[in-house]
Amino acid sequence: MKQDGAALFETHGQDLYRFAYRLSGIREIAEDAVQECFVSLMKTARPIPDPARPYLFGVVRNLVFKTLNRPTALPALRDPAIPPDQSSDVHTMLLRLPEEARAALVLISIEGFTYEEAGQILDVDPATLRVRIHRARRQLKQERGYEVTTHD
């Protein structure tokens, strides 16, 4: 189903930017990823799947990690504009997680995707995703020095 790019940006642009920022920790990378996502949509003749939201998150996730994996990517883990506090410490630890675990945790815990939807975005089955989320949460809690309490 073809959709209006401007309307898609109005609907999902801010969410995609926040998603990209949480994955990268760098505002410029987040802005560029969202921009490149929509610019590539404008250039391609391929229709955008319906619903568009999971598809757009998948594209932005790929673009963020592509940028971060470039040899010239900035080494910073966190935007220096954000003063360090407890929340940004969590972000720093989130950014230390492996890419797939990081993306899974942000999609499920922050963006509110279901395991099925996040599985489609990350191209893994929901069971594998559950394992990744479990391990990612455990790693974050251990790094924070919290007692590990889960419902799994």
Partner 1 sequence: MTDQELDLRLLAIPVPDPNPEWRIRMQKKLKHNPCNRRLLLAGLAACAVLGASLQTNELFKTRLGIPGANLIITTRTESISSRIQWRGLGNSVYPRKSPDWIRRYTYDNSTQTVWGYETRLAPVSSGRYRIEFRALTEDPRPNLQAAVKSFRWIAPDQIPQSREVQFGEVVTVDLRPQLRDELQVNPGPDSIVDEMKKDPLRIMNPVLEEGGIRISGETAAGLSGKALMIFWPGQKTLTIRLDKGFKEDHTEIGFVDGKMLEFDLDGHHYVLKSDWVIADGGRRSIYGLVSPNQEEKGPVFFGSRD
What is the binding site for partner 1 (CB under 8 A)? 2-6, 9, 13, 17-18, 21-22, 27, 30-31, 34-35, 38-39, 41-45, 79, 81-82, 85-88, 90-91, 94, 105-106, 109-110, 137, 140-141, 144, 146-151
Min dist. Cβ of residue 93 to partner 1 (A): 10
Q: How many whole angstroms separate alpha carbon 47 and alpha carbon 50? A: 9
User: Nearest approach, Cβ of 125 to partner 1 (angstroms)?
Assistant: 21
Measured in degrees and rounded to the nearest 5, phi and psi for residue 27 equal -60, -45
Q: How far is the CB of 124 from partner 1 (least distance, A)?
A: 20
Tell me the C-alpha to C-alpha distance, in Å, between residue 11 and each of 6, 7, 15, 32, 114: 9, 6, 8, 18, 19
CB of 17 to partner 1, least distance (A): 5
Buried b (16+ CB within 10 A) or exposed e, 62-95: ebbbebbeeeeeeeeebbeeeeeeeeeeebebbb
Smaller CB distance to partner 1: residue 96 or 144?
A: 144
Q: What tokens were used for 129?
A: 């995703």
Residue 84 or 125 with smaller CB distance to partner 1: 84
Residue closer to partner 1 by CB (options 73, 124) is: 73
* DSSP 8-class letter at 50: S
